[in-house]
């Protein structure tokens, strides 16, 4: 889809150039803490860190994540240099909205990746107070851990900080268009606060921080019942149920395959860049096109029905990723047909193993248009 907005300003270009000078560092991490590590993105991130030889402590309360996302890591990534049976993966069940939640986490860490948060509309609308608490108290506890340990800290923020954007594509210097009291504000404003707190710790406390703004992400291990666009469409198609599209389907999203996102998060962690940095695909699709592609990939004969658009649902969403490309050498490389094929195959295999189509066709499940963010 053609870009009809104003081009990047010279001030953006100069600020991006200045920030890119921070990015030359390449680091070797020994021990990482991943909050929200049993979520969709978190599980993939834990796996990638282990593959790099990093010891990983995964912290999760399983309110939206699942132990199943990391069950294969518990005994599959053993360190040959340690006594037999001593894994490099450690799973800690803790609720970051409770004070002292990270007291049991070792302080010999050099990387803290803070992903903990409900990320789908179904999750954060059903737990609004907890969503704000994990964005505030949870982020502060994760920052305090990084500060005490002298560790690099990375906040997984979201494109939802841009709200329903008046600028397209969205650049990091765009302040956004967010309804502070709308139903989505618990997530949008929570993440905006988390960014402000992260920035304050960097300036006032000298904490080594980075902010990633994550755009729509999809792939294997997404929850089938969390109401987000792609898993909802896939589940409905496989169940032979109508695909429910919000509005007229003309709103757009840019969807990034999870492996690409994880590479971007690790590239940002490896750098000295403070961010914020947009991470997402530059391929922009209408929601109606995504629904049609899901029907084609699944071979489903399901129909498409249109439902009311959720309040404050963004009309267009695509990141300007020039900073990630220039400063980190990163871009999304998995094309949409390939990523969708892998995702549908995973859902087919999973459903074949369980014999169930849990969550398909639930009222509102496919109101696709919402659901940027981490995809816990």
Tell me whether strands 55-60 and 89-93 are parallel, antiparallel or unpaired. parallel
Secondary structure letter of residue 325 according to DSSP: I
C-alpha 160/C-alpha 33 separation (Å) is 24
Q: Which of 83, 165, 183, 192 is nearest to 127 (CA)?
A: 183
Close Cβ partners of 128 (under 8 Å, ≥ 6 residues apart): 186
C-alpha 185/C-alpha 178 separation (Å) is 8
193 is catalytic: no
Beta partners for residue 90, in sequence order: 57
C-alpha 44/C-alpha 70 separation (Å) is 8
Check 174, 187, 201, 218 and give the catalytic one. Answer: 187
- The distance from CA 76 to its chain's CA centroid, rounded to whole angstroms, is 25
Close Cβ partners of 32 (under 8 Å, ≥ 6 residues apart): 49, 54, 55, 56, 57, 109, 110, 111, 112, 113
CA dist list (Å): 42 to 39, 115, 175, 211, 331: 5, 7, 27, 16, 20
Q: Is 198 helix (H, G, I), strand (E, B) or coil?
A: helix
Give the number of C-alpha atoms closer than 13 A to the C-alpha of residue 125, restricted to the C-beta side: 14
Catalytic residues: 187
């Amino acid at each position: 889809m053609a870009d009809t907005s104003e081009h990047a300003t010279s001030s953006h270009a100069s600020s991006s150039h200045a920030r890119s000078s921070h990015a030359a560092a390449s680091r070797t991490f020994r021990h990482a803490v991943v909050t929200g590590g049993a979520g969709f993105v978190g599980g993939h991130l834990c796996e990638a860190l282990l593959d790099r030889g990093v010891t990983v402590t995964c912290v999760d309360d399983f309110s939206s994540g699942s132990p199943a996302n990391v069950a294969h890591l518990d005994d599959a990534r053993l360190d040959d240099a340690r006594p037999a049976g001593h894994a490099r993966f450690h799973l800690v069940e803790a609720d970051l909205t409770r004070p002292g939640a990270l007291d049991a986490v070792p302080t010999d860490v050099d990387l803290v990746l803070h992903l903990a948060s409900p990320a789908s509309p179904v999750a954060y609308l059903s737990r609004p107070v907890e969503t704000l608490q994990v964005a505030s108290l949870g982020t502060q506890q994760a920052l305090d851990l990084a500060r005490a340990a002298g560790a690099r800290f990375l906040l997984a923020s979201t494109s939802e900080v841009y709200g329903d954007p008046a600028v397209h594509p969205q650049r990091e210097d765009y302040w956004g268009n967010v309804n502070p009291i709308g139903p989505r504000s618990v997530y949008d404003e929570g993440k905006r606060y988390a960014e402000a707190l992260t920035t304050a710790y960097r300036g006032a406390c000298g904490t080594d921080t980075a902010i990633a703004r994550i755009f729509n992400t999809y792939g294997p291990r997404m929850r089938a019942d969390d109401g987000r666009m792609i898993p909802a469409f896939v589940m409905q198609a496989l169940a032979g149920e109508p695909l429910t599209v919000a509005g007229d389907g003309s709103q757009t999203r840019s969807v990034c395959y999870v492996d690409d996102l994880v590479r971007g998060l690790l590239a940002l962690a490896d750098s000295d860049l403070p961010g914020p940095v947009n991470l997402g695909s530059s391929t922009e699709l209408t929601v109606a096109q995504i629904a049609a592609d899901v029907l084609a990939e699944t071979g489903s004969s399901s129909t498409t029905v249109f439902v009311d658009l959720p309040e404050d649902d963004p009309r267009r969403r695509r990141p300007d990723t020039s900073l990630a490309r220039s400063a980190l050498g990163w871009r999304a490389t998995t094309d949409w047909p390939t990523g969708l094929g892998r995702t549908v195959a995973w859902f087919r295999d999973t459903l074949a193993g369980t014999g169930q189509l849990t969550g398909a066709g639930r009222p509102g499940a496919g109101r696709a248009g919402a659901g940027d963010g981490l995809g816990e």
